[in-house]
Chain A
Amino acid sequence: GAVVSQHPSRVICKSGTSVKIECRSLDFQATTMFWYRQFPKQSLMLMATSNEGSKATYEQGVEKDKFLINHASLTLSTLTVTSAHPEDSSFYICSAREGGSRGNEQFFGPGTRLTVL
Chain B
Amino acid sequence: SQKIEQNSEALNIQEGKTATLTCNYTNYSPAYLQWYRQDPGRGPVFLLLIRENEKEKRKERLKVTFDTTLKQSLFHITASQPADSATYLCALASGTGRRALTFGSGTRLQVQP
Among the 9-residue stretches A13-21, A65-73, A80-88, A103-111, the one with 4 or more Cβ atoms under 8 Å from chain B is: A103-111
Contact, CB under 8 Å: A44 / B98: no
CB distance from B66 to the nearest CB of A (A): 14
Residue from B89, B99, B100, B104 having most chain A Cβ neighbours under 10 A: B100
Chain B residue with Cβ nearest A46? B100
Give CA–CA (A32, B93) in the complex, Å: 14
A-B contact number at CB 8 A: 54
Given A43-B105, A46-B101, A49-B98, A106 and B43 contact (CB-CB distance below 8 Å)? no
A64 contacts chain B at the CB level, 8 A cutoff:
no
A109 to B102, CA, bound (A): 17
Give the number of chain A interface residues (Cβ < 8 Å).
26
Beta-carbon contact of A42 and B43 below 8 Å:
no
A104 touches B99 (CB 8 A): yes
Q: How close is A12's CB to chain B, nearest CB, in angstroms?
A: 15
| Also in contact, A93 and B98, with CB within 8 A (given A43-B105, A44-B89) | no
The answer to whether A46 touches B46 (Cβ under 8 A) is no
B45 at the interface (CB under 8 A from A): yes
The contact of B41 among A42, A107, A111, by CB within 8 Å, is A111
Cα A49 to Cα B17 with chains together (Å): 40
A34 to B103 Cα, complex, angstroms: 13
The answer, yes or no, to whether B82 is at the interface (CB within 8 Å) is no
- Judge whether B61 is part of the interface by a CB distance below 8 angstroms: no
Which B residue sits closest to A106, measured CB to CB? B101
Residue of B nearest to A41 (CB): B105
Q: Which of B45-97 contact A (CB under 8 A)?
A: 45-46, 49, 89, 93
Verify if A7 is at the interface (C-beta below 8 Å from B): no
What's the minimum C-beta distance from A57 to chain B, rounded to whole angstroms? Answer: 7
